[in-house]
Structure 1
Amino acid sequence: MGNLISTGFNSGSVDGELDSLAEDLRRLADMGVETVELGLTSIDLISGGRIIAERADRLAELVKQFPFRYTVHGLVSSNFMDPVTQPYQIAAAKALIEVCDRIDARVIVQHGGCLRADQIAERAGADEREREALVEVADFAKRYGVRVALENIFTTEPGQYRQTPAQVAETVKAVNHSNLVALIDFSHAYIESTYRGLDFREELRAMAPVTGHLHVHDSFGRPQGFYKGFHPQELTAMGLGDLHMPLGWGDIAWEEIFSELTFLPDTVLMMEIGLRHRNEQPASLERARRLIDINSGRQTLAAE
């Protein structure tokens, strides 16, 4: 226990430009945040797998104005199982890893893959295709001292092929690369466990030993299905889907979970709780710091 080193929030651009990112970074610095996960694909920074040099220069100048530890979220649409777009995704991931090195970010997030229901012919080789891509990207990342964090996602459409959290852990074990770790997204695991009838806590236990990065945000673990709320707040009102709520708004037993699990050394507890909940972020930051203390044994559940 005690391998959690920092916590903080994700941040990105709201318009593709760096100005809105800069504004949010100033706000997070004023809050006393230690670590920021940069959603770099919310910025026009990579074009056809190539770094746009002028924008990368501006990004580097911006981030060094703040004392943050940085991590980076890669392509949110990343899917190394897809045979058509995989080469372009790999090129983009490599470019982003070079940017990571330039801004001293030592973790890049890669989403676990999937196949659509109509991609029947591609299913037999899907897992191996993803593993081969992960080896290539992790080999590239090793040159720069960056860890690739493979995130568990949840089923998003009927008939989709998607790995369970435990299977994501098996992928990381099978690749067996020093620069590849698992990333537990707790809410994603909760939703997928509900959807598939799995034991949520057992899925977390399966992932933890190979996990080197965390995504933390609250939910009720209820699959959204085809239900569409008119306002995002309507889904929150019903507790449906991947809500990215402040800690305590859902029903995930955070203190119990963090008193039990042990992660890899140098793991960051990254909260994906964005601007919509800016007023609740300080309270979530305090609670996350308590979770780190609980995980390290510096604080007990009885003290809660």
Structure 2
Amino acid sequence: MTEIPVGMSADVARSDVTDLAAELDRLERLDVDIVEIPLLSLDMIAHGRVLPGPLARLVEACAGRGIGYSVHAAIGLNFFSAPEHLPLHFDVLRASLDVAARIGARHLVMHTGFCSARAGDIEERFARQREWLARGAVEAAARDCVLCVENVPPTGGDMYTAAPSRLAREIAAIGDAHVRATLDVSHGYLYAGATGADAFAEVAAVAPHARHVHLHDSFGRPGDLFFAYTDAEKMHFGLGDLHLPLGWGAIPFERLMREATFDTGVVFMIELPERFACEAAATLAEARRLAALARAAS
């Protein structure tokens, strides 16, 4: 398999883009191959329209660097929403693709659909999501980009979202090279922890469809099992989507690399919060070790 690029998501404190250049400098010093830009945290799009001033600051911050880019779109972008809202969601998707194109990003990450677990029309929502993602694929192709749909865990007892294996089947059903998956390994284990599914089987089912893989550790234990006050306390008890440095949790990443089969052209992206910045170099080294073990689809 060709060497897998390994990168990190940028962590910005200011939504006006003014601290992004310094963050990219930090990530370049770590010698990453690619950076995920958190569009979801930036004041870049207003009602589906890209704002020229913030976009200019983003382009300036990203220009002239020896790294690649991907972009993470708004988490609220949701094709399980009510039908009357879907055109606006599509406008936000198209604007996000415009931003990605301006910085040469080859992947736009978005989450798979979510809704109330009490909704009586789940299959209709999947059908609408397939339709709108197929439309998105046309827009992505025009910008030399790939939509990478991410598996997410349910948060709270009233949330429904696709099992990772169902997401894999949905992407296969769309059958377009410009709609692939983002496999978030920890999210897959958290889904299994919340639902009783087979964690490894769920995650491995997505890997052949995944053009983008999010790497961060956890214990696959839902965050609402019992109360913990601070983020540090949640880590003490191993609760929730912790985004830990690799090796701090309990996910069997090495087994996944040895036994799963990954999409050709995949990139690995570490999502590590600023509070773990001291562990960034060690986590990057571990991610590169894991990437060297990964197997490609035939």
User: Which TM bucket (shorter chain)?
Assistant: over 0.9
- Does structure 1 residue 86 correspond to structure 2 residue 115? no
Kindly report structure 1 stretches of 4+ aligned residues shifted beyond 6 Å: none
Report the equivalent of 2:110: 110
Q: How many Å apart are 1:3 and its aligned residue?
A: 5.2
Per the alignment, in what secondary structure is the counterpart of residue 211 of structure 2? strand
CA deviation digits over 1:180-225, x for unaligned, max 9? Answer: 1011100010011122111111112211221211011000000112
Quote the Cα distance in structure 1 between the aligned partners of 2:246 and 2:35.
Answer: 17
Cα deviation for residue 227 of structure 1 reads 3.8
Which residue of 1 is the match for residue 97 of structure 2? 97
Cα deviation for residue 13 of structure 1 reads 2.7
Paired residues of 2:189 and 2:203 also in contact (CA < 8 A)? no
Where in structure 2 are the equivalents of 1:124-273 lying within 5 Å?
124-225=123-224, 227-273=226-272
| Count of residues in Structure 1 that have an aligned counterpart in Structure 2 | 295
CA distance in 1, matches of 2:194, 2:53: 45
* 1:208 partner letter: A
| Per-residue deviation, residues 247-299 of structure 1 (Å, max 9, x unmatched) | 000011111211122211111100111211000010000001111111259xx
Distance in 2 of aligned mates of 1:82 and 1:3: 39
The alpha-carbon distance between structure 1 residues 226 and 253, as it changes in their structure 2 partners (threshold 3 A), is closer
**8 Å contact kept, 2:262–2:294:** no
What is the TM-score with the length of structure 2 in the denominator?
0.94
Q: Aligned equivalents of 1:218 and 1:127: distance in 2? A: 29
Amino-acid identity (%): 33
- Indicate whether 1:293 and 2:292 are aligned: yes
* Structure 1, 275-284 or 262-271: larger mean CA deviation: 262-271
Secondary structure of the corresponding residue to residue 108 of structure 1: strand
State the secondary structure of the residue aligned to 1:289. helix
CA distance in 1, matches of 2:30, 2:77: 31
The CA deviation string for residues 74-123 of structure 1, in whole angstroms up to 9 with x for no partner, is 11222210115322221111011111111000000010111114543x43
Q: Distance in 1 between matches of 2:191 and 2:74?
A: 21
**1:105 partner SS:** coil
Shift of 1:125: 1.1
Opposite residue 100 of structure 2, the aligned amino acid is: C
Q: Residue 190 of structure 1 aligns to which amino acid in structure 2?
A: Y
AA in 2 matched with 1:136: R
Mind listing any 5+ residue stretches in structure 1 that lack a counterpart?
298-304
For residues 127-155 of structure 1, what are the alpha-carbon distances to aligned partners after superposition, in whole Å with 9 as ceiling and x for unaligned?
Answer: 11111111111111111110000110011
Which whole-Å CA distance do the structure 2 matches of 1:68 and 1:51 have between them? 24
- Root mean square deviation, CA, Å: 1.6
CA contact (8 A) 1:113 1:162 kept: yes
Q: 2:103 corresponds to which letter in structure 1?
A: I
Q: Distance in 2 between matches of 1:172 and 1:187?
A: 20
Q: Which stretch has the larger CA shift, 228-237 or 163-172? A: 228-237
> SS in structure 1 opposite 2:182?
strand
**What's the counterpart of residue 30 of structure 1?**
29
Cα distance in 2 for partners of 1:290, 1:161 equals: 35
Contact 1:4 1:295 in 2 (8 A): no
Contact 2:180–2:209 (Cα < 8 Å) also in 1: yes
Structure 2 residue ranges without an equivalent (≥5): none
